[in-house]
Structure 1
Amino acid sequence: MFFGEQLQNVRELKGLSRKDLAELVNVSEQAIWQYENQYTVPKFEIVNEFKRIFSVKPQFFYSKPFTKNISTIEHIAYRAEDRESRKKAKMETTYLDFVSHFIFEFEFSVDAPQSSIYSLREASEKLYYNGDSKVTDKKSILQHLAENARSTLDIQNNRDLLYKLEMSGISILEKNMGSHIDAYSTWTKEERPFIILGNIKKSSVRRNFDLAHELGHLLMHRLIDMDSLSKDEHKVIEKEANDFASYFLIPEEEFVEDFKQIKKKSNPYSYVEMKMKYMVSIIALEYRAYKLGLLSYEENRYFYASLNKYKMRQKEPLDEDIPVVKPGKIRALLNFVFENHLLVLNDFLDKYNIELPFLESLLGIDEGFLTKFKATIREDYYGSNVIPLSPSGN
């Protein structure tokens, strides 16, 4: 039996509309609709085309869907310019359904370390929604949240931010989302936090700000229906996430002391050394200083005039010199699982009727990274298929 839902799932996973897919296999858009709704069954040669396009085995379309609906449009935090694209958001929910299913499969045989993101979220939401007798205004609340998050996650150096977030229990992946989407975040129905980063070339410092921005969403905005917000309401939510990121990445007390060393406050080049230390953009550093009252209005205006003069708005000094850090936890998890024979790659691919490029693309794994495990034979260790991921087994 041909399962049209499987075709719809991989089409959305690939980011294709019915019209896009119809053009690729040389049929009508109506034919794709009929396949997906099981009014007609595609010919074998069409199924073979689907196999090639989606990197799955033909049996994939004749097997029951295995993913569950664990993500919703309402809880995906997009940037303001992206939020009107409901069709794009729907496709991202399909992506999250697949990704979450496979990550759970890989983690099932691993005794993972305890995650700190849940206790941090609980403390953050308590303050964000209920306030505190000593912390009442919104700015102070956001600053307190940022300071607590930085302390809880033990961020000593912003260079380690992505690693620390992964270790806290957040699943971070990288995928092609086009040139207009930097990142988004969500909590799934299964209480799994995700941050999805775009893979369009971006400086390391801007990626750091994206990560901190999305962390703000995860800690403060889980209970907000993002899809129902007005444009003005959404701007408020985005500003909160931006302010959180600024407070989180650039702690006030330390920053004020460092800023005293700057001689020419309105010269963008004066911020290069601090950019290396804080791993945030020159623009973000000056903005933080201006909001703290460390620059006058005139100095702020001159700074932005200089940015235009030196053409720094799009490209700053050191942008190409600081390596971009990529997500590594899922890559390490896959290597651990297959290297320790907890799963056999070929058996896993056969179980889901997918090809290796499907898995690599879905999880953002470098092409060829898993090839070395293609010939692995299953071995059981001492009658147990569960191995602790942390060295201590905690």
Structure 2
Amino acid sequence: MFFGEKLQSVRELNGLSRKELADKLNLSEQAIWQYENQYTVPKFEVANELKKVFNVKAQFFYTEPFATNISKVESIAYRAEDRESRKKAKMETTFIDFTSYFLDKFESKLNLPTSPLPLLRDESIQLYNMSMETNDRLLQLEKIAENARKRLDVQSNSELLYKLELSGIYILEKNMGTSIDAYSTWASQEKSFIILGNKKKSAVRRNFDLAHELGHLLLHYKIDMDSLTKDEHKIIEKEANDFASFFLLPKEQFLKDFSTISKKSNPESYLDLKMKYMVSIGALEYRAYKMGLLTFEENRYFYATLNRKDYKKNEPLDEDIAIIRPGKVRSLLDLIFKNHLFSLNDILNDYYIDRSFLESLFGIENKFLSKYSEESNREYFNNSNIVSLFAKEN
């Protein structure tokens, strides 16, 4: 039996509309709709093309769906400039459904530490709600950011991505086009995700993306993002931006470091601080201005210089600071297959997918898993064996 739902899900997973898929196959959009709703069944030639497009085996479409109802469209936090892309949110829920399903499967063989993030989120929301009573939102956001930085033990912003992954957040890279920088969401079983666009972006701007999305995860849990008005969405985005600024640039230390700047209106004067905090020149000056460390005239001159030198697009040192890529999922897969907790070939055969399907899903390089796909005659652990991720060596 052909399952049209599987075709729809794998199409959405790959970010294709029905028309885009139809164009790839030289079919009508109506034909794709009929396949997905099981009014007609694709001919052999069409099914053969579908498996090539989606890196699956033909049998994939003839087995029941396995990754469903894990994430919700209203829980996905897009950036304000991506507001018009909300129609793509359904496709992102499919992506989260697939990644979360396979992560759960792989982690079933591991003893993992309890993530501190749900508790930190609850503490943050409690502090956030206090701002409604005191009418001092910014002060509470700063307290939330300071508490989060302390609880996550972020000593330097250069280790931010690593610390977020260590806290339990799954950070993945994905091709989302040129208009979407990042998004975040809570899925079922208290699993949190930050998805980063893989377009070329500086390390310091990626750091701000990470802190911004952390703000959404801690502050905006169970807010229906899909029903917000444009003005409400702007408020949510400003809160995440303010949180990111407070989190990345802690007040006391920043005040001390900023006092060393001789010419506050000159963007080049911020280069040492950029290297220390791994934050853009613009973000550094904005934080200082909001703290009253620059006059209105100094702020205007700073941005005039920033625009004149085209630093809003490319700042000094952007090319010199290496971009750190997510490593948690890559390490998880390596651990699972290197220790033979699962057979990669069994996974591919059980779910009727190709190796490149998993590599694309998790945003890892092509052929990363190739060293495990040809292993045979290995003794694999049975289902009763669980391996601790932090087991002590004898």
Aligned-pair CA distance for 1:385:
2.6
Q: CA–CA distance in 2 between the matches of 1:21 and 1:158?
A: 42
SS state of the match for residue 304, structure 1? helix
Query: For the structure 1 residues 190 and 52, does the alpha-carbon distance in structure 2 shift closer, same or farther, using more than 3 Å as the test?
Result: same
Aligned-pair CA distance for 1:205:
0.3
SS state of the match for residue 315, structure 2? coil
Q: Within 5 A, what are the aligned runs for 1:177-216?
A: 177-216=176-215
1:90 partnered with 2:128 = no
Q: CA–CA distance in 1 between the matches of 2:146 and 2:96?
A: 30
Q: CA–CA distance in 1 between the matches of 2:172 and 2:382?
A: 33
Partner of 1:345: 344
Q: Within 5 A, what are the aligned runs for 1:1-394?
A: 1-131=1-131, 137-377=136-376, 378-380=378-380, 384-392=384-392
**Cα deviations by residue, 1:177-196 (Å, 9 ceiling, x for unpaired):** 00000000011133211100
Q: CA–CA distance in 1 between the matches of 2:14 and 2:3?
A: 17
Q: CA–CA distance in 1 between the matches of 2:392 and 2:185?
A: 31
Question: Do the aligned residues in 2 keep the contact of 1:70 with 1:189 (CA within 8 Å)?
Answer: yes
SS state of the match for residue 113, structure 1? coil
Query: For the structure 1 residues 70 and 382, does the alpha-carbon distance in structure 2 shift closer, same or farther, using more than 3 Å as the test?
Result: closer
- The number of residues matched between the two structures is 392
Q: CA–CA distance in 2 between the matches of 1:46 and 1:92?
A: 26
Question: Do the aligned residues in 1 keep the contact of 2:343 with 2:380 (CA within 8 Å)?
Answer: no
Aligned-pair CA distance for 1:122:
1.3
Query: For the structure 1 residues 327 and 310, does the alpha-carbon distance in structure 2 shift closer, same or farther, using more than 3 Å as the test?
Result: same
Counterpart residue type for residue 146 of structure 1? A
Question: Do the aligned residues in 2 keep the contact of 1:6 with 1:65 (CA within 8 Å)?
Answer: yes
Aligned-pair CA distance for 1:136:
5.3
Q: CA–CA distance in 1 between the matches of 2:55 and 2:131?
A: 50
Aligned-pair CA distance for 1:59:
0.3
Query: For the structure 1 residues 332 and 238, does the alpha-carbon distance in structure 2 shift closer, same or farther, using more than 3 Å as the test?
Result: same
SS state of the match for residue 266, structure 1? coil
Q: CA–CA distance in 2 between the matches of 1:37 and 1:124?
A: 44
Unaligned stretches of 5+ residues in structure 1: none
Identity of aligned residues (%): 63
Range with greater deviation from structure 2 (253-262 or 108-117): 108-117
Aligned-pair CA distance for 1:381:
5.2
Question: Do the aligned residues in 2 keep the contact of 1:22 with 1:28 (CA within 8 Å)?
Answer: yes
Counterpart residue type for residue 230 of structure 1? T
TM score, norm. by length of structure 2: 0.97
Query: For the structure 1 residues 154 and 132, does the alpha-carbon distance in structure 2 shift closer, same or farther, using more than 3 Å as the test?
Result: farther
CA RMSD of aligned residues (A): 1.5
Aligned-pair CA distance for 1:382:
9.2
Counterpart residue type for residue 242 of structure 1? N
Counterpart residue type for residue 5 of structure 2? E
SS state of the match for residue 104, structure 1? helix
SS state of the match for residue 195, structure 2? strand
Q: CA–CA distance in 1 between the matches of 2:161 and 2:185?
A: 16
Unaligned stretches of 5+ residues in structure 2: none
Q: CA–CA distance in 2 between the matches of 1:27 and 1:88?
A: 23
TM score, norm. by length of structure 1: 0.97
